[in-house]
Amino acid sequence: MQFTNMAVAAFLTLLKIVTADSQEFGIVSIHSASAVHYLSLHDKDGLYLTSGPDSLSASVTDAGKLKFSNNKFVVIDKDGKWIEGSENDASTGFAISSGRVTYQDKENFYAVPTTNPANYVISGQDDNGAIGVALTAFLTSGSRANDFEPSAEKVSKVGSTTIDATSSGTSPDIIVPPTSTPAVTVAAISQITDGQIQATHSIQIQSENGVAKIGFPGGVGSLGMAIALLI
């Protein structure tokens, strides 16, 4: 009986590990020298890439769904755009690979302009005026989130919209942060608007085991403001 109880406990522990979600992270768009460089995701009566505080944090569930800190999920509509919805409607196929958010094994996305010039919608398709981006997953420490692949038996791509980010025949020109950054003291970024950067605080960057680490004020909400320090 004692052996059986131990076996059950071990099985439950293993099950908990197998069904765990990813780390919580902030999502920052990366495309050097563009209007969408360092933008983060916000819920402003819709899901938008934009600047400012109170950005959303996210995690990838064990079912391959992208869940936000406001308890909403990413639903990819028929046009390939990211919108918010319930868990039941959420698209599956999300993961983290090499510090980037991926969908259906693709890591290239597009920031599509809206009627508000400060807001962009994420899409898997190259709409008119769209800018190619990588969506990098950063922890509050400033390092990239660990790779995460949902449990294969829980990820179902049936019913999800499959998006080909390179359907236009061209790949987005994306420049992403290097995996190693030398130790240097730089200034924290407090505002990024149309490529303008304003420095306010001094921050120490270290490279440890090939991964850059940053300590910065403001937590995930100000995460996008510190990503510039990595490249």
Residue 63 within any structural domain of the chain: yes
CA atoms within 13 A on the CB side of 29: 32
pLDDT of residue 5: 61
- Per-residue pLDDT band at 38 (split at 50, 70, 90): very high
Both tokens of residue 133?
């981006």
- Per-residue pLDDT band at 217 (split at 50, 70, 90): very low
Question: How many other C-beta atoms lie within 10 A of the C-beta of residue 47?
Answer: 22
Residue 172 within any structural domain of the chain: yes
pLDDT of residue 128: 84
Domain of 159: which CATH number? 2.80.10
Q: Averaged over 118-140, what is the pLDDT?
A: 95
Q: Averaged over 160-187, what is the pLDDT?
A: 42
Answer with the residue of higher pLDDT: 196 or 20: 20
Question: With pLDDT > 70 as the criterion, what percentage of the chain qualifies?
Answer: 57
**Phi then psi dihedrals of residue 218, to 5 deg:** 100, -10
Residue 231 within any structural domain of the chain: no
- Per-residue pLDDT band at 21 (split at 50, 70, 90): very high
Residue 193 within any structural domain of the chain: no
Report the alpha-carbon distance of residue 226 to residue 86 in Å, rounded: 31
| pTM for this prediction | 0.63
Domains contained in the chain, number: 1
Residue 145 within any structural domain of the chain: yes
Range of the structural domain that residue 73 is part of: 21-176
Residue 130 within any structural domain of the chain: yes
The mean pLDDT of the chain is 74
